[in-house]
Structure 1
Amino acid sequence: MPAPNPAALDFLLTRRSRPAKTLGLPVPDRDELCTLLTAAARTPDHGKLEPWRFIVLDRRALEALAERIGERGEALGTDPEKLAKDLDTYGKANLVVAVVAAPKASEKIPAIEQTLSAGAVCLSLLNAALAAGWGANWLSGWMAYDEEITGWLGLAGGESIAGFVHLGSESSEPPERPRPDIDAITTWFVPGSPA
């Protein structure tokens, strides 16, 4: 018989990301953050390749990133209103972990599995932070895919940003949002039945 963990299941059934703009000080200190990163790194990893890594961005680094985003966004002709929102998101943040998808050469493990593992790290980090009492939000956006921005962050060829995980203290409780209708998105497959 399985040994249930009702508290963990209840957490997963009620977990809710916190909007990045509502996350303030204090933020996890270095030791607390290392615990969260350790939890995130326990994600499924077929082949034990560790096809991901972390870049920790503190307030000073985020101010520099926001400046870079502003320069790059203007050069790309990004809509000024959208760019202002992006600058606000990063320029006012206090702690962000960039989860880098860093695929390894492998004859056995396809690149897609490695990318999915990096995505799982983002969710694991998000959930670890929430379970520890912090607010957290997983974002991406155009800056996660822009080669000039990712190059500035030190990504090597073949690497990409799986997500920017914002961390901090909650300043307000977010409203609940609509959740998927499980019956509408679940098929109980029966071999030979019509598709």
Structure 2
Amino acid sequence: MPDPSPQALDFLLTRRSRPAKTLGLPVPDRAQLMPLLTAAARTPDHGKLEPWRFIVLGRAALDRLSAAVATCDAADGLDDAAIAKAQKQFDDAALVVAVIEVQRPSPKIPAIEQTYSAGAACLGLLNAALAAGWGANWLSGWPSHDPGFVRDNLGLTTAERVAGFIHIGTETTPPPERPRPDVAALTTWDGA
């Protein structure tokens, strides 16, 4: 018989990301953030490759990223509104953790499994922050996919990419509920 954890299951059934623009001060300090990062690092990781790492971005780094958005290669041809929207992600934030996918050479572990693990690290960090009482949101945006932007501003190598920017802060307004998937319509039972 399994040993249930009703509180954990209730949390997962009712969890709700908080819009990044509604997150404010205070934000977790280093001591408060380390357990959240530790929880995120407990993600499924086939082969124990640790195909991810974390970059904690404080206010000065966020200001630098915001300024760099307008000059990155991906900004060419975009209108002012698209550039301003990308900058706003960094302007409005007080603390962001960039989860960086790190592709590790492996004869056994396919690259896609490493990508899945990095995504799971994003979700693990998001859920850990929410479980700890913080508001949190997982964003990316077009600058995160621009090779020059991530190389010049985050120090990423060609074997790395941004899996997500996890915004963490204090919730200033409760989020509205949103429609949820129809799980019964998305589920096929085969031999069960």
Task: Compute the TM-score of the two structures, normalised by the length of structure 1.
Answer: 0.95
SS at match of 1:163: strand
CA displacement at 1:75 relative to structure 2? 4.6
User: Mapping of 1:1-195 within 5 angstroms?
Assistant: 1-72=1-72, 75-152=75-152, 153-190=154-191
SS at match of 1:106: coil
Structure 1 residue ranges without an equivalent (≥5): none
Give % identity: 63
Does the Cα contact within 8 Å between 1:20 and 1:136 map onto a contact in 2?
Answer: yes
Does the Cα contact within 8 Å between 1:73 and 1:83 map onto a contact in 2?
Answer: no
Offset from partner CA, 1:74-119 (integer Å, 9 cap, x none):
8512221122122112112110010000011111100000010000
CA displacement at 1:33 relative to structure 2? 0.8
Does the Cα contact within 8 Å between 2:73 and 2:148 map onto a contact in 1?
Answer: no
What CA distance in whole angstroms lies between the structure 1 residues aligned with 2:99 and 2:64?
A: 18
What CA distance in whole angstroms lies between the structure 2 residues aligned with 1:43 and 1:183?
A: 27
How many residues are aligned here? 191
Does the Cα contact within 8 Å between 1:97 and 1:164 map onto a contact in 2?
Answer: yes
Does the Cα contact within 8 Å between 2:27 and 2:170 map onto a contact in 1?
Answer: yes
Does the Cα contact within 8 Å between 1:98 and 1:165 map onto a contact in 2?
Answer: yes
CA displacement at 1:190 relative to structure 2? 4.3
Does the Cα contact within 8 Å between 2:101 and 2:160 map onto a contact in 1?
Answer: yes
Task: Compute the TM-score of the two structures, normalised by the length of structure 2.
Answer: 0.96
**Structure 1 pair 125–74 and aligned structure 2 pair: CA distance change class (3 A):** closer
CA displacement at 1:132 relative to structure 2? 0.2
Offset from partner CA, 1:123-165 (integer Å, 9 cap, x none):
0000000000000000011111101111021001121100000
**Structure 1 pair 3–190 and aligned structure 2 pair: CA distance change class (3 A):** closer
Structure 2 residue ranges without an equivalent (≥5): none
**Structure 1 pair 148–73 and aligned structure 2 pair: CA distance change class (3 A):** closer
SS at match of 1:60: helix
Does the Cα contact within 8 Å between 2:151 and 2:157 map onto a contact in 1?
Answer: yes
Does the Cα contact within 8 Å between 1:100 and 1:118 map onto a contact in 2?
Answer: yes
SS at match of 2:72: helix
CA displacement at 1:66 relative to structure 2? 0.3
What RMSD over aligned residues (CA atoms) do the two structures have, in Å?
A: 1.4
SS at match of 1:47: helix
